[in-house]
Amino acid sequence: MPRETGSRVVEILDKHERELLTSWLDRQLKASTLRRDLLQESEMREQSREFLRLVRDAAAKAGVEDVDTPAYEPVRELLRAISTERARKGFTSSETATFVFSLKEPVFARLRQEVGMDVGALAEEMWAANVLLDKLGLFTTEVHQQGRETVIARQAEEMLELSTPVVELWEGVLALPVIGTLDSARTQVVMENLLQRIVETGATIAIIDITGVPTVDTLVAQHLLKTVAAARLMGADCIISGIRPQIAQTIVHLGVELQSVITKATLADAFAVALQRAGLAVVRSRPQA
């Protein structure tokens, strides 16, 4: 009766768990990629034991073909945790994948012992084990990669925040010089920044200067209006300054509704209006030299 491919693998994972673990740990400790500076031996033992146990359970339930089935979720969960932790500690993705790949040799050795006589079956079983551990090893690199991407994304966000500083020009008057294009991701950051500053400073007027915005199309205009609307909901009025003649034309041409939003050509003009609204005036205290 033909046996299901991988069934011998399941068997040895079950029957020879302890020997496999010992052999595997031995290999890991001897590996050139060992990072004793980053990972304690006790942690490594614990993780290896847990991994082997979970793979044994999953394989017993669902075989060794498909690691995406629900039965393998505990294994994936563990690998996620290990991979994320190691990424944080500074391991490269290869160093982390080696954790899984180094289990191959002990498994192959044990398979040779148990299945040795039947060459055809041995080849199949070794292949099944190889594919299983490849898939799991690759999974760790995926998680590692995504972890890196998250860090990069967060850094990009922080840079965005830095590139749209909110300046307090005067008590209660904020200025937001926007440099570069306003896409939806940027707009979210801009809005959060601006509103946060409004709360912190108790500002009643926010001047959004778009001198540094190269093109204003319908999308950018919408993003601007969203920002204005959000500030208003928090009790701060907005003035848009830095409207170049071409932009004025585009806005009219696009039929963008800018009603009830004050617009000024320069930041200076906008500031003057802001002071006026705040009931302030700038007075010369000495005659001009």
Partner 1 sequence: MGEFLLVSIQVDMHDKLAITLQDDLTTSIVKHRARGVLIDISSLEIVDSFIGRMLANIAAMSRVLDAETVVVGMRPAVAITLVELGMSLTGVRTALTVERAMDTLRASVATGAESGRGDAARPE
Partner 2 sequence: MPLVRSDKLPCASDGDVVIVRQRVRSLAVESGFPLVDQTKIVTAASELARNTVVHGQGGTVELEMLVEGARRGVRLTFTDHGPGIADISQAMKDGFTTGGGLGLGLGGAKRLSSEFEIRSRAGEGTVVRIARWR
Binding mask 66-95 for partner 2 (x = CB under 8 A): -------x--xx--x---x-----------
Q: Which residues of 113-133 are buried (b: 16+ CB within 10 A; e: fewer)?
A: ebbeeeeebbebbbebbeebb
Residue 259: CB minimum distance to partner 1, A:
6
Residue located via tokens 């029957």: 15
Find, among 85, 110, 120, the residue nearest to 99 by Cα: 85
Cα separation values, 221 from 47, 107, 257, Å: 53, 62, 9
Among partner 2, partner 1, none, what binds residue 146 when CB lies within 5 to 8 Å by partner kind? partner 2
- The verdict on 8 binding partner 2 (CB under 8 A) reads no
Q: Please, which of residues 165-204 interact with partner 2 by CB under 8 A?
A: 188, 192
d(CA 20, CA 13): 8
Among partner 2, partner 1, none, what binds residue 94 when CB lies within 5 to 8 Å by partner kind? none
Among partner 1, partner 2, none, what binds residue 54 when CB lies within 5 to 8 Å by partner kind? none
What phi and psi, each to the nearest 5 degrees, are found at residue 178?
-95, 125
d(CA 283, CA 289): 15
Which residues in this chain contact partner 1 in the complex, by CB under 8 A?
188, 191-192, 195-196, 198-199, 202, 204, 226, 229-237, 259-260
- Of 79 and 236, which CB lies nearer to partner 1 in the complex structure? 236
**Number of residues engaging partner 2 in binding (CB under 8 A):** 14
Binding mask 128-157 for partner 2 (x = CB under 8 A): --------------xx-xxx-xx-------
Positions in the binding site for partner 2 (CB under 8 A): 73, 76-77, 80, 84, 142-143, 145-147, 149-150, 188, 192
